Amino acid sequence: MHDERRRIEERVERVHNQRIKPAIYSATVPFEVEAWQAPGEPVSFEEAAAARYTPFAMDTPWGPPWGTTWFRMRGRVPAEWAGRRVEAVIDLGFVGDWPGNQAEALVHLPDGRPLKAVNPLNQYVPIGNPVAGGEEIDYLVEAASNPDILADNFSRTTPLGDILTAGDKPLYTFQRADIAVLDEEVWHLDLDIQVLRELMVHLGEHEPRRHEIMHALDRAMDALDLDDVSGSAAAVREVLAPVLARPAHASAHTISGVGHAHIDSAWLWPIRETKRKTSRTFSNVTSLADEYDDFIFACSQAQQYEWVRDNYPHVWARIQESVKKGQWAPVGGMWVEADGNLPGGEAIARQLVHGKRFFIEHFGVETKGVWLPDSFGYTAAYPQLAKLAGNEWFLTQKISWNQTNKFPHHTFWWEGIDGTRIFTHFPPVDTYNARFSGEEMDRAVRNYSEKGGGTRSLAPFGWGDGGGGPTREIMERARRLADLEGSPKVVVEHPDEFFAQAREEYPDAPVWVGELYLELHRATYTSQARTKQGNRRSEHRLREAELWATTAALHAPGYSYPYEKLDRLWKTVLLHQFHDILPGSSIAWVHREAEAEYARVAEELEALTAEAVAALGAGGTRVFNTSPFDRAEVVRTAAGTPAYVEVPAGGSAPLTDAEPAQPVRVLGHVLDNGLVRVEVAQDGTLSSVFDVRARREVLGDKGNLLRLHTDLPNYWDAWDIDKHYKNRYTDLLEPTSIEVVSEDPLLGAIRVTRSFGKGSTITQTITLRADSPRIDFETEIDWHEAEKILKAAFPVDVRAAHSSAEIQFGHIQRPTHTNTSWEAARFEVSGHRWVHVGEPGYGVAVLNDSTYGHDVSRTVRDDGGTTTTVRLSLVRAPRIPDPEADQGKHRFTYSLLPGASIEDTVAEGYSLNLPLRVADAAGAPEPVVSVDGHGVTVEAVKLADDGSGDVVVRLYESGGGRAQGVLRTGFPLAGAQVTDLLERPLEETAEVCDGGVPVSLRPFQVLTLRLRRG
């Protein structure tokens, strides 16, 4: 047989695109359209309905950036269309096929009920199937003219990312607003050909099935009357029916399709626009559920449900009905799909608590899995926290983006730092926005790494990132692919069903131990430093407010625990941990608002804490310690003078004039407190840090070396830092001034000021306090660089085989060598309050109060010794998507802690992030809880969420070993119960002995105790 592939494939492509697709709508009549431009921010339907509209013609530009234009569309279905399937078809001037980052609209009936959204590949609104003919159609359409921030593929900066800089030039040209007859036979023919063409081109040329489909398509084209596509469509479909009816092979891979609409809670649009995106997408989804009984939609992020509940009650009611019918599946059980690395341990716990509770309360559904397809890597603390929240499975997709190494599994057991394992799946289709294209189906089968062990994978399908969701065309593809030779079998089902079947068939799946590190988007640990600082400060202020509110509730008559305020503030912080806000990868508008929200949160939490402390009584000055460790340190009084105090963990003590054992001496540019001696060189770096106790020099080279690197990644500016950044740099070695600013015996300080680059300045106050080996670098930067990253280096004279970085409820060890491509790819990593490096018998820690990104490397010196260098990533200057990212003022502190064990480091990390509070107060009660024994660390103290008055305490083992201790209370204790994160009883028991609760923890175990008051 002659090879006619090219002729046939080109013939089918042309006829399909130029004849069949244009015939899908067989008749149209235009709407009469009027328009009203809403001033400023979006308005309510009631305000829009009462506005004065003016005539509007097609092909007219409309829509300033971030504007809202309301269109009134009126028309009549022609009487002669009776018995036909009729739809409204609206094209706002869509650009491309992605619905997320351009014009979008929600269509309403005159009474305000939302019907459905329109976006590029979902332009229809059902009118009737069939219609009676003569129906009057009246719509009010809320159209958002969101700008395309992705224009030019992120290759240049744009002012469109903030309404303050975007201008007012119209962005779109309205193309179409019609009432149209959908020719169902032609529409189905279009889908038949789509599925077969895509299957054909992704089958191997040696496959008989490819040639069978090709010749069937050729015969189908012969059967098509080009002058009467509608009249001949049925005959063409008959020609194709046999090849569509051929069943899949018995061994064909099974793809569990789950409807999905990934909606970033903010990214290339502000939070206010996400609220509208949820209404549009969820309207589409509930409308699709009415059309397809076999449709199932999985949706995460309780925050987005709450927005719809509060702003779109009609859509909310439709969601509730879909959940009852089993077509809508709440998943994920988190408040938002948070970043997987940066939120603190207690914050991840609260993400799970607030998310799961919302779904239980409003739908009677307890979600079973963590649904995080798009976060930028995942902490090794997740398996334990997920299981403690009652989850059975974990899903993500993002690790498929790895830059260097292909992750070896798609279905596996993930083991966390404490030994907890959770069943985990990465969809081999490599997208969370699947459309069941031939390319995707082929990729899923080729990629699937569990062949021979498992037979199934999951594919979230539907338009996403900016929402949109599944379409009827995708559902039709799924139906055709349910059992089709040459293709994997597609079944639309609930993700719980997929995970149950996958686990049953593959119970001995391989195990991956430790973090799921994404070899990409490493700059998200650093970009938008003020947003990250707002998160860190908020997390610690929430801890502080809860502790002292609990103390006041137990001991201050008349004080009322602020349940509702704390709940609202927690949810605000959790929202901003979304995986494009906290990582710093959103437009300017998002981060401008985030900084304002963090300032408001700080103000409210300060007021709540002050109120709680004041409720404990006035008459004296006391110092309050929110840290879980006893502290003896220097604190600044309200007058700004230093004082030395000793304060128990979680308690308070009077402000006294105690004398430290080791006061500070300042000799020129040397700080010495008998524990460490710090010498500041003429270039502003540390020339020596001598540990007096260990009689050894700490540094292997210049300490606190500030290095300014050129930082232009290959792509994704705000997200990425590529290894070549290391190759060009400037060391900041020419200070403008070095001066002693404090010679107090309690606190010695030297200030170093530098100017550099494009008008940037950095002022650092190097501080040593009495009785403490910790050296603080209080830093103020006025930053005006572009495409740069500033690092602070501490080369220490230890031969460290690995570094230890704090993560949620523990720490993770990473090799300092680059023996394999896996280690080499970790050239920038994340951590929380500290990084520790050490050799047997000696360690050094670098602490911070708001920095997450760092790198650790080591070199061998000429003298044979090893220098291990820890470098903190202080601030970046990406220009896309926010051209002004990180510009301006930054204030933060980082510290060097010589001679530190892991236990010392954990304690000092808390101390740096939880400053002592000096307040007017009388005698205070005993700490709410205290622990006898090492390694048992208190992370949270609060009243139970159910209002019972029980005290809830969250503990964890912080050193990486086994820990035993006794939890004691500062109130009469009647009983104790081990609970899950949602404060529900577990089978594990907790006994009260001699007024305390004995505690035994495995390495990094998290334990939640509910304490009943006597």
Angle at 301 (CA atoms; ends 519, 948), nearest 5 degrees: 120
Residue type, 747: L
DSSP for residue 1001: E
β-bridge partners, 767 = 749, 776
- CB atoms closer than 10 angstroms to residue 945: 16
Secondary structure of residue 227 in the 3-state scheme: coil
β-bridge partners, 138 = 74
Q: Compute the CA torsion angle 427, 411, 458, 491 (nearest 10 deg).
A: 150
Percent of residues in the chain assigned helix, strand, coil, to nearest 5: 30, 30, 40
Tokens of 17: 């695109």
Nearest CA to 774 out of 668, 691, 888 is that of: 691
Tokens of 278: 């949820």
Phi first, then psi: give them for residue 238, nearest 5 degrees: -65, -35
Q: Is 374 a catalytic residue?
A: yes
C-alpha Rg value of the chain to the nearest Å: 31
Tokens 């040593």 correspond to 768
Tokens of 675: 């524990």
Secondary structure of residue 654 in the 3-state scheme: strand
Nearest CA to 149 out of 475, 586, 775 is that of: 586
Secondary structure of residue 923 in the 3-state scheme: coil
Residue type, 148: D
Secondary structure of residue 257 in the 3-state scheme: strand
CA distance linking residue 189 with residue 20, whole number of Å = 8
DSSP for residue 16: I
- Please enumerate in sequence order all residues whose Cβ is within 8 A of that of 496, keeping only pairs 6 or more positions apart, or say none: 329, 368, 369
β 61-62/621-624 pair status: unpaired
Secondary structure of residue 455 in the 3-state scheme: coil
Of 374, 430, 442, 717, the catalytic one is 374
Cβ pair 909, 611 in contact under 8 A? no
Rama region for 861: left / alpha / beta (φ>0; ψ in -120 to 50; rest): beta
Secondary structure of residue 675 in the 3-state scheme: coil
CA distance linking residue 443 with residue 198, whole number of Å = 12
Phi first, then psi: give them for residue 843, nearest 5 degrees: -145, 160
- CB atoms closer than 10 angstroms to residue 1007: 23
CA distance linking residue 871 with residue 1011, whole number of Å = 43
Cβ pair 774, 762 in contact under 8 A? no
CA distance linking residue 531 with residue 573, whole number of Å = 11
CA distance linking residue 282 with residue 1003, whole number of Å = 43
CA distance linking residue 392 with residue 383, whole number of Å = 9
Q: Is the dihedral of CA 306, 307, 312, 316 positive or negative?
A: negative
What does each C-alpha distance from 983 to 429, 502, 986, 1004 come to in angstroms? Answer: 37, 30, 9, 20
What does each C-alpha distance from 790 to 121, 709, 853 come to in angstroms? Answer: 44, 6, 11
CA distance linking residue 793 with residue 777, whole number of Å = 12
Q: Please, what's the b/e burial string for 527-540 (b: 16 or more CB within 10 A of its CB; e: otherwise)? A: bbbbbbbbbbbbbb
Active site residues: 374
